[in-house]
Structure 1
Amino acid sequence: MSAEKSLVLGDRAISYSLRRSRRKTLGLRIDARGLVVAIPERVGLSEAEAFIRSHTGWILDKLALWQQRAEEPAQDLADGAVLPVLGRPCVLRWTSGNGRARWVEGLPARELHLAARKGADQSLILKRALQAYALNYFCGRLDEYLFRLEEFAPGIARPRLALTSARTRWGSCSSRTGIRLHWRLVHMAPALVDYVVAHEVGHLVEMNHSPRFWSVVGALCPDWREARAALARERLPEI
């Protein structure tokens, strides 16, 4: 059950969606749709608003980031445009053809050659090429971290891996659906991708964020704290 509410934070009136559920703790989420506050069924409105106010700084900062993103121009997809792939510049090259993608290495900057018919949706062609590249790369990193996990947690089966376009998560792990990684991680530096993969592999041992879970992540990825902090600062190009 959800309801639309508002309150004043600082000098701003903030609208939010209040959602009640069987969860045991209060939680906040901000995405392109705004602020969502999730609370247990028995928590009153006054307690919920006190919780919101205790996170005023975080809320205002995140809302400002989403507002800035909404005002930014769309990613340039013209021939010669540059976007990051695994943290390094990649130059787009467009040719006439049937939508195939070809990666060209060995140049000062990697190039992605995309063939498109006249009037074709270039953003869709680019997205498909990046997703195919991402899935292949992520599969290799998953295999690497499962190999590392075998040293101290043997016998865990390889989960199914899929891509996601979730608004608020870089990755997820479920006993039912396996591991899902956000395809836009393909823009991030390898160390940040590795942290997300290690995080989700850690959930194969502990489906929570307990101290034991973080010890597993630390064993897999010793620099996870630095990577997590760096990932929180990253912005993704809109395609």
Structure 2
Amino acid sequence: MNFVNASGHCVPVEIRRRKGTRRLRLSLGQQNQVVASVPWHVSQRAVVQFIEQHRTWLDAQLAQLPALCSLSSWFQRHPRISASGDVFALRIEDRECRQPNYCFEQQGAVLVLRLPVIHETAIRQLIRRFAKDALTCRVAYHAKRLGLNYTTLSVRDQASRWGSCSARRGISLNWRLILLTPSLQDYVILHELAHLSEMNHGPNFWALLDLYDPQRVRHEAELDACAAELMRVARA
């Protein structure tokens, strides 16, 4: 099912049926698709009618979305990554090696991705491996500094969230954190570490996060400003 926008482009429509959904609702997904959340019993014809009724709103929202971007295209425009509280220049090379790997050169200032063949899938797999290593070290650093303990850390490809913390004290982070500035990367990590003590977003949580990150209000605004674009990286 597709929605033809005002420019004549076909935009995929993803219908999500859930028993707990009580009314039809439209949103836009991270792959720039229209997402229709639909009660279980509602017919597809009713969904089509609902979408048509909201055509003006959808056209306006779709026009504001950042374009999907491949990881290689992103690095051509932004050849850098964040890790260990610092920013490193990034270079991608084709090398005669058995397995993709990365190393640091120029006295640790440049991260080099070494690949037998340079293509999008290989770049994505290697940069996610680097993200796992880098974020594991950064979380451990902040947890030790704050005297906190967590059980597990996973680095995943979340659709829209930067991170989460489970009731079992497990932390999950989006690999795209390495595309943020060091201060915003640390803000997300500190946000999830604060959930180890306060599992909700009540006043005690925000007071604790203010202690962890005195610039958290500014960092929240900066993260909101860049999230839509960054969440669409490596989805093309």
| Equivalent residue in structure 1 for 2:152, among 157, 160, 165 | 160
Please tell me whether the aligned partners of residues 16 and 38 of structure 2 are also in contact (alpha carbons under 8 angstroms): yes
> What secondary structure sits across from 1:233 in the alignment?
helix
| Equivalent residue in structure 2 for 1:84, among 80, 83, 89 | 80
Q: After superposing the two structures, state which structure 1 stretch, 207-216 or 87-96, moved more.
A: 87-96
Kindly state the Cα deviation for residue 221 of structure 1 after the two structures are TM-superposed: 1.2
Q: 1:178 to 1:101 in 2, by over 3 A?
A: same
Q: Give the unaligned 5+ runs of structure 1.
A: 9-13, 151-155
| 1:18-51 CA distance string (max 9 Å, x none) | 7556589x9966422534466999xxx9xxx9xx
Please tell me whether the aligned partners of residues 79 and 90 of structure 2 are also in contact (alpha carbons under 8 angstroms): yes
Q: 1:16 to 1:91 in 2, by over 3 A?
A: closer
Please tell me whether the aligned partners of residues 91 and 111 of structure 2 are also in contact (alpha carbons under 8 angstroms): yes
Match of residue 141 from structure 1: 138
Instruction: Tell me the TM-score normalised to structure 1 length.
Output: 0.66
> What secondary structure sits across from 2:160 in the alignment?
coil
Match of residue 197 from structure 1: 189
Matched, 1:238 2:234: yes
| 1:112-137 CA distance string (max 9 Å, x none) | 14031xxx463333233322322222
Q: 1:30 to 1:133 in 2, by over 3 A?
A: same
Match of residue 32 from structure 1: 31
Q: 1:74 to 1:144 in 2, by over 3 A?
A: closer
| Equivalent residue in structure 1 for 2:198, among 172, 195, 206 | 206
> What secondary structure sits across from 1:157 in the alignment?
coil
Match of residue 106 from structure 1: 107
Kindly state the Cα deviation for residue 202 of structure 1 after the two structures are TM-superposed: 1.4
Q: 1:77 to 1:61 in 2, by over 3 A?
A: closer
Q: 1:133 to 1:145 in 2, by over 3 A?
A: same
Instruction: Tell me the TM-score normalised to structure 2 length.
Output: 0.67
Match of residue 225 from structure 1: 217
Q: 1:110 to 1:27 in 2, by over 3 A?
A: same
State the identity %. Answer: 22
How big is the alpha-carbon RMSD for the aligned residues of Structure 1 and Structure 2? Answer: 4.4
Kindly state the Cα deviation for residue 214 of structure 1 after the two structures are TM-superposed: 1.3
